[in-house]
Amino acid sequence: MDGAEISSEVSSQIKATRADWLNAARDVLVTAGVADVKVLTLSRQLKVSRSSFYWYFTNRQDLLDHLLAGWEARNTRTVVDRCAAPADTITQAVCNFFTCFVDPKLFDRGLDFAVREWARRDPSVRRLIDEADKTRLAAIIAMFERHGYGAEDADARARILYFMQLGYHALDVRESMSERLGRVESYLKGFTGVAPDPGEIAAFRAFAENATGES
């Protein structure tokens, strides 16, 4: 059997796509940790030959690098983009920030904390986390500054807002969307020092209910 025949035979056996491998790896990372993200484990989960993995990735590290790139592109970019979104008021701008964390399609909360856990054991990943937090904070600070807050005030408010949001999820707070939305007006006052317009609250509520299917 020549090389072309072998290539054709292996190709015909491939049933999992690149996205399938990445999604499976993401799920294992979130549920079990990076140590369990192994080619053999994933191939058994996907019910495909390990050889098909190498059609898409050079090795396990290549897969891990792609996971990190996807995390960065999805989570950090989402925060930056939402903070830069047009807003007439600072309370509307903070609502834009909040959309990241109520719509699971925008920000992968499980992946974010899995990468943070990974960073505890890997200095190179720790550096990526530190850089991501720096980038996200810079975007939030700029958001406050655009709405007239001084540099020191913007920095303090950005840190309170961002670290509260991370802590909220780290503690795995269990509450209904209705409970969470019931506190939005008070949260906005606390984070910005400004009372939000009722229309902004209504628009954010509609977004959250549509994104989560809860009311």
pLDDT at 12: 41
Residues 6+ positions from 191 with CB-CB distance below 8 Å: 94, 157, 160, 161
Q: How is residue 164 written in tokens?
A: 């509260």
pTM score, whole prediction: 0.88
For residues 79 and 136, state if they share a domain. yes
Residues 6+ positions from 188 with CB-CB distance below 8 Å: 91, 94, 95, 194, 195, 196, 201
Give the Cβ contact number of residue 118 at 10 Å: 22
For residues 81 and 159, state if they share a domain. yes
* Number of domains, the chain: 2
| Contact (CB, 8 A) for 66 and 22 | yes
Residue-wise pLDDT tens for the chain (215 aa)? 343 433 433 444 558 999 999 999 999 999 999 999 999 999 999 999 999 999 999 999 999 999 999 999 999 999 999 999 999 999 999 999 999 999 989 999 999 999 999 999 999 999 999 999 999 999 999 999 999 999 999 999 999 999 999 988 787 777 787 888 889 999 999 999 999 999 999 999 999 989 888 76
pLDDT at 124: 97
Q: Rounded to an integer, what distance in angstroms lies between the CA atom of residue 188 and that of residue 205?
A: 13
Q: Which of 39, 57, 75 is the last residue of a domain?
A: 57
For residues 22 and 99, state if they share a domain. no
pLDDT at 39: 97
For residues 99 and 188, state if they share a domain. yes
| Boundaries of domain holding 28 | 1-57
For residues 107 and 119, state if they share a domain. yes
Q: Rounded to an integer, what distance in angstroms lies between the CA atom of residue 84 and that of residue 116?
A: 25
Q: Which of 10, 35, 57 is the last residue of a domain?
A: 57
Q: Which of 13, 29, 57 is the last residue of a domain?
A: 57
CATH code, domain carrying 118: 1.10.357
For residues 198 and 150, state if they share a domain. yes
Residues 6+ positions from 93 with CB-CB distance below 8 Å: 83, 85, 87, 143, 146, 147
For residues 8 and 113, state if they share a domain. no
pLDDT at 194: 95
- In 2-90, beta strands by DSSP E: none
For residues 42 and 66, state if they share a domain. no
For residues 80 and 177, state if they share a domain. yes
For residues 78 and 9, state if they share a domain. no
| Contact (CB, 8 A) for 50 and 40 | yes
pLDDT at 7: 42
User: Would you give the end-to-end CA distance of the chain in angstroms?
Assistant: 62
CATH code, domain carrying 30: 1.10.10
| Contact (CB, 8 A) for 114 and 30 | yes
For residues 74 and 24, state if they share a domain. no
For residues 34 and 131, state if they share a domain. no
